[in-house]
Amino acid sequence: MSNLLQLQRRMAEAVMRPLTRGDRMRRRAGGQSVARQAAEFIKPNDRLSSFERLEIYNRQYWFRVLDSFAEDFPGLRAVLGPAAFDRLSRAYISQCPSRSYTLAALGSQLVHWMSAHPDFTGSQRQLALEMAKLEWAHIEAFEAAELPARTISEPVGEGTCLKLQPYLRLFRFRYTVDNLLLAVRQAETAGGLTPRRRQELLRALTVGPIYLAVHRADCTVHYKRLDPAAFRLLYSLQRGMPLGNAIEAAFEHSAIPTNAWPRLIEGWFTNWTELGWLYM
- Provide the pLDDT for residue 257: 93
Cα–Cα distance for residue pair 154/65, rounded to 1 Å: 46
- Which stretches of the chain drop beneath a pLDDT of 70? 1
Return the exposure string of 210-238: e unless at least 16 CB atoms fall within 10 Å of the residue's CB, then b: bbbbbbbeeeebebbebebbbbbbbbbbb
Please tell me whether the overall predicted TM-score, pTM, comes out greater than 0.85 for this model. Answer: yes
- Provide the pLDDT for residue 269: 95
- Provide the pLDDT for residue 129: 98
**187: Cβ–Cβ under 8 A, 6 or more apart, which residues?**
193, 194, 197, 201
CB 216 within 8 A of CB 157: no
CB 14 within 8 A of CB 58: yes
- Provide the pLDDT for residue 1: 56
- Provide the pLDDT for residue 241: 96
